[in-house]
Amino acid sequence: MTNQAESTNFVPTLKAEIAGGIMPLTPGQLVWRRFRKHRMALVGAIGIIAIVVFIIAGSIIVPEDAANQGDLRNRMIGPTAAHIFGTDSTGRDVFNRIIYGGQISLIIGVLAVLLEVSIGTIVGGTAAFYGGWVDAVLMRFTEAMLSIPSLFLLIVLAKFLGHDIPTIKILGRSFSGSVGIVIIVIGLTAWMYLARIVRSTMLSLREMDYISAAKSLGASDVRIFFSHLVPNTLGIIVVSSTLGLASAILTEAYVSFLGLGVQPPTATWGNMMEQAQSFMSQGAWWLWVFPSLFIVLVILSVNLMGDGLRDAFDPHSTRHM
Amino acid sequence: MWTYISRRLIQALFILLIITGVCFLLTHFSADPMSQYANKQGMTAADRAAIAHSLGLDQPLPVQYVKWLWLALHGNLGDSFFSRQPVLTLIEQRLPLTVILMSTSEVFIIIISLILGTVSAVKQYSALDNIITSFSFIGYSMPIFFIAFGLMQIFAVQFKAWGLPYLPTGADIWDPKNIGALARHMVLPVTCLVIIQVAGYSRFLRSSILEVLSLDYIRTARAKGLSARTMLFKHALRNATLPFITIIGLDIPFLLGGALVTESIFAWPGMGRLFWEYAQRGDFPVVNGVLLLTGSAVVFFTIIVDVLYTFVDPRIRLS
């Protein structure tokens, strides 16, 4: 909340308005109202919820062994009643692998975005806050990282981190340590755009009248940073992290497709595609069609939601009201 | 203007220093090029030390970096560890094929995006616009291997099974100097790249045309009785394509790096595959050479685009 001394003067008028039946909306309510009116964004949100429910419910019904252990007598069968998405070259059920692969792909996406947002906000915020040579150095570093084609940087970094990989046990399930490496690699190669956006937003906010007002009231730099600059940049951070989630899931698919990502038997949608590639010419279409469809569905939903959020957070947007 | 350009050039050198430094550090610790000699028969520890010495691997890292940088400034990117060919020769072999692939795709990408973007902006919210927008949204959300596999399944696998003339998947051996073979092998990768890029570009163009169409000077043009066609082509498109030209200009240097995934799916012998093949084996001279080349292209192209932009758009003043 704002400074007590600042806000006391406004309280009587606000109370009068509420008494008169005009309820002022909080910024959060405004955003929600605009988002709700955005039909495609709601479709996206429903798509995401549906996939998350599918993955969680699926893993309750289907045991993990059914996804990772194959039945060698039933290799390379196309979709049938018993295996609705068919089986792969070691007789593993593609449908079950999509459930467990989806968990890993989505977890990687979410954690990579969290890492990316933290790095981007810290770098961008520090550059904007300190200015001068700190800003110059950080922004040149950001530009340097942006000048390397992202997949090249990703490969170099994945090779750098992927020496010897331990297996991690969480919640009684064991994950290949490569999951952690993929998260770090994606997070470390995707923060640059966000850092730039955060920096430029904060720089333009700093010139606003209400910041000078806060300064003349004697607010400290730290206070201005945390109670004015950060909350006002939050909308942009939320929007770009939503869109970042789509590209993180896509990047995981690319990295695993190249064989640098999560190692089998742990399934991800990306490494299922890698295995499918070798059986392409044999016409085993079910190996790549189903994982790809799920990738497209998730990314489409996330992008639609991101677009809706962008319009919802934009105070100038009145299109959907 | 000149002070601006010289300041940008100095910044560019600084950026290149960071790029090469980071890449050198990462590649150095990412793989051990000596591992291929570890189990060779009849090779003693002394032999291995001699090889490491001849490759310059026994020196401290900063020394290796400075030496590499000094040679690079003189146009020598060193030799590949494995094939022992100069890195520049390897790049010279692959670069033309990437340029052919990418420039063909780019021509189609620009033409198709311009048409789709303009049509869907002018006919906003019509059935046609909804179809184009939906397709571009789906295309934008697709991993390129989905499109690649789909096209391969139909035009290579199924067409062959049906006895129709089919397109090659890239698994066969072919000579890049044979124009016919080159063209046939190019169809599928170019189609993939075009679909993916058009999806993003046409959406971008649509929104920038819509933005321009809502401006006051367009209303003025309409009010003074200009035909819809004149207004669109002489007034609106000229301004709306400015940001489009900028993003294409900024994307072009990245094309030199090739399309790694597309090139590896279709076995296209371009820069992306060169990088991928040598990165897998830990051949850092090649990896660092490719990174330096694409990095410099990106850095200097950005400056050129920024400067050229002031000539196209007189509202912008550089400082």
**Among B15, B30, B137, beta carbon nearest to A147:** B15
CB contact under 8 A, A144 and B19: yes
Q: Is the pLDDT score of B258 beyond 50? A: yes
Residue of B nearest to A145 (CA): B19
Q: Does the pLDDT at position A94 exceed 60?
A: yes
Mean pLDDT is highest, among A83-87, A294-298, B64-68, B122-126, for A294-298
pLDDT of residue B62: 83
Q: How many CA atoms lie within 13 A of A157 on its CB side?
A: 20
Question: What local confidence, expressed as pLDDT, does residue B113 receive?
Answer: 94
Q: How confident is the model at residue B250 (pLDDT cuts 50, 70, 90)?
A: confident
Distance CA B153, CA B305 (A): 40
B60 versus A182: the higher-pLDDT residue is: A182
A8 pLDDT higher than 50? no
DSSP secondary structure code for residue B303 in this structure: H
Counted across chains A and B, CB pairs separated by less than 8 A come out at 122
pLDDT digits (tens, 9 = 90+) for B30-72: 766 666 666 666 667 777 777 777 777 777 788 888 888 888 8
Distance CA A178, CA A265 (A): 12
Across the interface, of A147, A254, A292, the residue whose CB is closest to B299 is A147
Look at B157 and A280 and tell me if their CB atoms are within 8 Å. Answer: yes
A234 is written with which tokens? 């939050």
Is A17 a residue whose pLDDT tops 60? no
The amino acid sitting at A57 is A
Q: What is the mean pLDDT of residues B248-276?
A: 86
Tell if the CB–CB gap between B294 and A257 is shorter than 8 Å.
no
Distance from CA of B191 to the nearest CA of A (A): 18
Q: CA-CA distance, A19 to A16, in Å (whole number)?
A: 5
pLDDT recorded at residue B102: 92
- CB contacts of B290 in chain A (<8 Å) are 152
Q: What is the pLDDT of residue A51?
A: 93
The first and second tokens of residue A85, run together, are 């998405």
Would you state the structure tokens that stand for residue A251, as one six-digit string?
Answer: 């990047």
Q: Which residues of A touch B149 (CB under 8 A)?
A: 273, 276-277, 280, 288, 292
Tens digits of per-residue pLDDT, A128-168? Answer: 888 889 999 999 999 999 888 888 888 888 888 876 666 66
B31 versus B266: which is more confidently predicted? B266
Structural domains of chain B, with CATH: 2-73 (no CATH), 91-312 (1.10.3720.10)
Asked if A277's CB is within 8 angstroms of B265's CB, the reply is yes
Interface probe, candidates B28, B124, B149, B281, chain A, greatest A C-beta count within 10 A: B149
Which of A56-70, A255-269, B19-33, B260-274 is modeled with the greatest confidence?
B260-274
> Which of A316, A304, A315 has the alpha carbon at shortest distance from A38?
A304
Q: Give the closest of B11, B23, B161 to A156, CB-based.
A: B23
Nearest chain A residue to B301 by CA distance is A147
Confidence of residue A6 (pLDDT cuts 50, 70, 90): very low
- Mean model confidence pLDDT for chain B: 85
Q: B16 to chain A, minimum CA–CA distance in Å?
A: 7
pLDDT of the residue at A318: 47
**Among candidates B26, B141, B171 on the partner chain, residue whose Cβ is nearest the Cβ of A296:** B141
Shortest CA distance from B30: residue in chain A: A160
CB contact under 8 A, A280 and B299: no
Q: Please tell me which of the candidates B138, B257, B279 has its beta carbon nearest to residue A296.
A: B138
Helix (H) or strand (E) holding A174: strand A173-176
Partner residue facing B143 (CB), from A144, A250, A280: A250
Residue A89 main-chain phi, psi, to 5 deg: -70, -15
What's the burial of B82, exposed, middle or buried (CB within 10 Å: 0-12/13-18/19+)? middle
Residue A155 is predicted with a pLDDT of 87
A273 touching B (Cβ < 8 Å): yes
- Mean pLDDT over each residue of chain A, to the nearest integer: 81
Q: Which amino acid is at A281?
A: S
User: Is B104 in contact with B186 (CB distance < 8 Å)?
Assistant: yes
Report H helices in A62-93.
Answer: 64-68
Q: Report helix angle A27-37 to A286-313, nearest 10.
A: 130
Q: Say how far apart CA B297 and CA B252 lie, in whole Å.
A: 9
Task: Answer whether A295 touches B (CB < 8 Å).
Answer: yes
Cβ under 8 Å to B: A residues 114-173: 140-141, 143-149, 151-152, 155-157, 159-160
What's the pLDDT tens digit per position in B176-210? 778 888 888 899 999 999 999 999 899 889 988 98
